Structure 1
Amino acid sequence: MPRAIVCLLDSVGIGGAPDAASYGDEGSNTVGHIAEWAAAGKADREGLRTGPLHVPNMDAMGLGAAIKLSTGTLPPNLSDTPKGGRFGVGREVSRGKDTPSGHWEIAGVPVPFEWGYFPQTEPTFPPDLIAEFLKRTGLPGILGDKHASGTTVIAELGEEHIRTGMPICYTSIDSVFQIAAHESHFGLDRLYEICKIAFELTEPLKIGRVIARPFIGETAETFKRTGNRRDFAIAPPEPTLLDRNAAAGNQVFAIGKISDIYAGSGVTHKLKGTGIPQLFDCTLEALEMAGDRAFIMTNFVDFDSEYGHRRDVPGYAAALELFDARLPEIIAAMRHDDLLILTADHGNDPTWPGTDHTREQVPILVFSPALLPAEIGIRPTFADIGESIAAWLGLAPGRHGKSFL
């Protein structure tokens, strides 16, 4: 009996969407620009890796061909002739370029409303929101109160946070309210508690997520975020693929931050990991446990959080190569009628100005020993991914999208 696995390579976009200009992202191309940068020899000078981008396994599934279909240009050291599987391009219909929109739409539910966002001012949060937050939490105040990169703002304010006990609150161009606090000096459970309060206050504003960002270390030079991140997210407005498969009595494995993104709805098994190797191990563990008609979904967040937002081109290239090198392990663990899909939720071009996501199309790379190779074209909605998985698992069609299988 069939099973389905989605490896969601967070932010691995393949070229600006048709409406990218309205987001200031026309010309962005996460994988394409990384490949060009590597081929130009610039990565060599960083001392992290050398030579052109080397991702032969994803390329065999159609990565290069998908980028050419998306942009009209084939990046260096990639091929436009896949060796197996089906390939295509996903185009998002939900507005914005944030994590919940992409994930929900992939699971068959495009976002039907506008997210709330905080202005790019300093301070950025409404005074009445912060006043109520401090009243309900008993905190003496907050630090930050601005748009910021998480690692940068922790380095800037972490020592003051330890000294004063005030959490670091910040946002980005996405619909988020983020709270960073030290795991031991402030306390992990306490951080989760104040994030829950913040979520109750921001949910009416249609802020998509409140994110707990715990860190360790004692100085600006040694601060490091940990894997105990937790997202408090608005629930999808209708049943997703996860809900539909769980309702049919089947297993749903949520790996990484997947459970948080879907507010735990439809999840029967939750596995956590930090970094690409651990997330890969968790995916293989889920495959060992998964029964017939199980659905496994893993978010590989490091592409986005560690390399995209930090504009770390060689780090992003090395992460793509690491993922690619381990990809055969998943394929080897698959049954004859299992389905594997590699895709993404948005872009985060590390060569692009700023530190935020980029509005891009995404690859849809599909493999099963039971499938013949084919091009599936440019899909008009990410929801086609969810409907294809639903058809593969024998579920009734949903309201959005069409199967490409």
Structure 2
Amino acid sequence: MARAIWLVLDSLGVGNAPDAAAYGDAGADTFGHIAGACAAAARGPLRLPTLTRMGLPQAHALATGQVAAGFEAAPAPAALWGCMAERACGKDTPSGHWESAGVVLERPFGVFEATETTFPPALLEALIERGTLPGVLGNCHASGTEIMARLGAEHVASGKPIVYTSADSVLQIAAHEEHFGLGRLLELCQLARELLAPWNIGRVIARPFTGDAASGFHRTGNRRDYALPPPAPTLLDAVCAAAGEVIAVGKISDIFAARGVSRKLPASGHDALFDATLQALAQAGDGALVATNFVDFDSVYGHRRDPLGYGAALEHFDARLPELLDVLRNGDLLVLSADHGCDPTWPGSDHTRECVPLLAFGPGLAPRALGRRDSFADLGQGIATHLGLPPLAAGRSFLMD
């Protein structure tokens, strides 16, 4: 019987979403601009032999009409390849994942638009009172690493957590693991999740950190995402309903609010996530879905506007990908995609509205072009087809074209 492996290269957009201009992102191109930055640097062009064989450069060229620097002589793909545009409004992690799993968000998430004095007073007052806090710091739009460096010492001295957001539908709370307490931070984020109900905010993110003013503050791997549950059954629910197992690696379980998740394997850092994915596949039975989000592409390199670091991380991922390909068995389907863009050369530090790649490979699966898809939901519908599940509510199966 069949199994499926879904890897989300978080934020690896391939440019040119049809409606990018409406988001201020016309011209954003995560993969293309990373390739260009690497080719222009002393380190030289990107080296991605496995992702190239799977059709990533061709997916980018299909989306943008341009060949990325260093990929002018890319060989013909040995996999199924194409690109997808998101139908849901926004450029959020939950909406991108949910649509990829067959649920198109019809009602946009709420956002906090004011860049300063950002959050409604009633929300902060309730958070402070019910969280027994001396107050909060931040209350603005900010880059997480910048605001941690700027307010970390004041946070430690005052006991006030750092509360901030971005252009996405999110409320983030940063606090020191020892001085404030990791458990207390997680409880505070759960309280914030409850209090945010009137504003329809997609996620609350706990951002724990350690360190001091002298040596610097550093995020830890204990991040947690508290997402709204999907508004309808997803691919994950369909797998479970058919008595299959869904093994969620990394933050996948958080993104789906644990809905449709049979078992979760926590891991932090791309190597640990890759190891956990291999472990999950070794344990997965017939009808299983293994889903992994490789978050560092987004959080470590995209948001921090580090194109060369992003390129090096892609090369490292590419070097490990053959380990997964080597253990695929007959009946397995491997699908690679992304949830949005986060162009590290783009102004600001927010996600970018872009098309994303759709790359699929399985033993005996003939390579072909999948074209431009008008919804991320085509991915989930294709996996549902492969696993023999009933059709999902949205999407056109990329295996049935």
The two structures share one fold, judged by TM-score above 0.5: yes
Structure-2 separation of matches of 1:204 and 1:235: 15
Partner letter of residue 217 of structure 1? Answer: G
Quote the offset at 1:51 in angstroms: 1.1
Structure 2 partner of 1:55: 48
Aligned counterpart for 1:328 among listed residues 312, 315, 322 = 322
Quote the offset at 1:77 in angstroms: 2.0
The structure 1 segments of at least 4 consecutive aligned residues displaced by more than 4 Å after TM superposition are: none
Partner letter of residue 21 of structure 1? Answer: A
CA displacement, residues 148-171 of structure 1 (integer Å, 9 cap, x when unaligned): 001111111111111111100000
Q: 5 Å matches for 1:4-403?
A: 4-41=4-41, 44=42, 50-78=43-71, 79=73, 81-219=75-213, 221-403=215-397
CA displacement, residues 93-151 of structure 1 (integer Å, 9 cap, x when unaligned): 00000101100000000111021111223210011111111111110100111000011
Q: Secondary structure at the match of 2:248?
A: strand
Structure-2 separation of matches of 1:65 and 1:245: 31
Quote the offset at 1:370 in angstroms: 2.3
TM-score between the two structures when normalised by the length of structure 2: 0.98
Structure-1 separation of matches of 2:216 and 2:115: 29
Quote the offset at 1:404 in angstroms: 1.1
Partner letter of residue 4 of structure 1? Answer: A
Q: Secondary structure at the match of 2:314?
A: helix
Gaps of 5+ in 1: 45-49
CA displacement, residues 349-386 of structure 1 (integer Å, 9 cap, x when unaligned): 11111111110000111100121010010111000000
Size of the aligned set, in residue pairs, is: 398
Quote the offset at 1:221 in angstroms: 4.1
CA displacement, residues 3-59 of structure 1 (integer Å, 9 cap, x when unaligned): 000110000000120100010110111011111111122xx2xxxxx1101111001
CA displacement, residues 242-292 of structure 1 (integer Å, 9 cap, x when unaligned): 011011111101111100000000001101111111100010000111000
Q: Determine what percentage of the aligned residue pairs are the same residue.
A: 57
CA displacement, residues 279-309 of structure 1 (integer Å, 9 cap, x when unaligned): 0001000011100010011000000000000
Quote the offset at 1:220 in angstroms: 6.1
Task: Describe the shift of the 1:220–1:308 C-alpha distance in structure 2 as closer, same or farther (beyond 3 A).
Answer: farther
Structure-2 separation of matches of 1:301 and 1:23: 22
Structure-2 separation of matches of 1:221 and 1:68: 44
Structure-1 separation of matches of 2:57 and 2:208: 37
The answer (yes or no) to whether the contact 1:203–1:234 under 8 Å persists in 2 is: no
Structure-1 separation of matches of 2:123 and 2:350: 24
Quote the offset at 1:203 in angstroms: 2.3
Partner letter of residue 39 of structure 1? Answer: A
Partner letter of residue 142 of structure 1? Answer: V
CA displacement, residues 316-343 of structure 1 (integer Å, 9 cap, x when unaligned): 0100101000000110111121000110
CA displacement, residues 61-88 of structure 1 (integer Å, 9 cap, x when unaligned): 0011111111111112225543411000
Structure-2 separation of matches of 1:101 and 1:321: 27
The answer (yes or no) to whether the contact 1:158–1:220 under 8 Å persists in 2 is: no
The answer (yes or no) to whether the contact 1:383–1:400 under 8 Å persists in 2 is: yes
Structure-2 separation of matches of 1:221 and 1:18: 45
Partner letter of residue 57 of structure 1? Answer: T
The answer (yes or no) to whether the contact 1:156–1:220 under 8 Å persists in 2 is: no
Q: Secondary structure at the match of 1:217?
A: strand
Partner letter of residue 33 of structure 1? Answer: H
TM-score between the two structures when normalised by the length of structure 1: 0.97
Structure-1 separation of matches of 2:77 and 2:114: 46
Q: Secondary structure at the match of 1:352?
A: coil
Q: Tell me how large the CA RMSD over aligned residues is.
A: 1.0
Partner letter of residue 57 of structure 2? Answer: G
Partner letter of residue 70 of structure 1? Answer: A
